[in-house]
Amino acid sequence: MGSRLGGIFWSLIFLAVPVLGVATFAIAPSYNIWLPKNVSEHGSSIDGLFYFILALTGVVFIATEGLLFWFIWKYDAAKAKGPATYIHGSHTLEVVWTIIPAATLLFLAIYQMNTWADVKMRRPAMAPTVEVVARQFEWRLRYPGRDGMLGTRDDLFLTNDLHLPVDEDVLIQLKSMDVLHSFFLPNFRIKQDAVPGMKIPVWFKAKETGQFDIVCAELCGWGHYKMKGRVTIESRADFDRWLEETYARQEATQPAPEDTVAAAAD
């Protein structure tokens, strides 16, 4: 296999990397193996950044893998004439390929900051819409009830069935009772670990009504895989009606569980 044939064969194997790599990303969306539908306001800027980095890294990927293929193809010892080029490096090239990536990477980092601040730092000034308390292996929800305050007698308790209004900022207060969990809403581009001992705010604005998954994304024990919830986004009117109905049902079946209120309050 020391022949030219071997060189051609192996070069093509390395050419297959960028070709099949790009093809995989090109074909995947048509099989619906791609970013799930985004329904949050900030989600489109996250997706935008994803595509931006994809394009940028895609160009670098094709260029570097392409060069690698080309060099392997061209400088096959069985083909190229004469001895190898005797060279130990190039100052100019080193400077160029240090400065350009450095500037690009720095720009890339700065370019992310605004979106990050929107999602994780610029918290809307409002009372929590709902408190989400993670525990093995369910999402316990607590709405403030009519008085708008958590930790009072009229709190509304539910499990795994989160409802939120559309087109409004919502603020979730995220806690955990036991181990780490992570509150992952794929369609909203939201992820936040729930940490025992911490109260972490999570906020977003839904743009569409519908039902979506709540996934636990941080290993929390044997039942981690089944720690599933659903979030229903509905109009303000539907949401208010749902709150009333659920509240009435809770009142009918049992009075506000005093001990739970006490335990959950802080």
Among 141, 170, 194, 227, binds Cu ion (CB under 5 A): 227
Tokens standing for residue 191: 């992820």
Which of Cu ion, another protein, none does 238 bind, CB closer than 5 to 8 A by kind?
none
User: CA–CA separation, 56 vs 43, rounded Å?
Assistant: 20
The b/e string for 135-161 (b: 16+ C-beta within 10 A; e otherwise) is: bbbbbbbbbbbeeeebeeebbbbbeee
| 151 lies in the binding site for another protein (CB under 8 A) | no
223 binds another protein (CB under 8 A): yes
217 binds another protein (CB under 8 A): yes
Contact with another protein (CB under 8 A) among 158, 171, 180, 243: 180
Of 90-98, 142-150, 231-239, 241-249, which segment contacts another protein by CB under 8 A? 90-98
Q: Which of Cu ion, another protein, none has residue 138 at its interface (CB below 5 to 8 Å by kind)?
A: none
DSSP 178: S
Rg of the Cα trace of the chain? 27
Q: Please, what is the minimum distance in Å from the beta carbon of residue 96 to another protein? A: 9
| Residue 49 structure tokens | 């950044």
From 141-149, 162-170, 213-221, 231-239, span contacting another protein (CB under 8 A): 213-221
Helices 43-74, 4-27: crossing angle, 10 deg rounding = 170
Nearest residue to 188 via CA among 125, 232, 136, 242: 232
Site for another protein in 113-142 (CB under 8 A): 113, 115-117, 119-121, 135-136
Total chain residues near Cu ion (CB under 5 A): 5
Q: Give the residue with the Cβ less far from another protein, 34 or 251.
A: 34
Residue 167, C-beta contacts closer than 8 angstroms, at least 6 positions apart: 205, 206, 207, 236
Would you tell me which residues interact with Cu ion (CB under 5 A)?
181, 216, 220, 224, 227
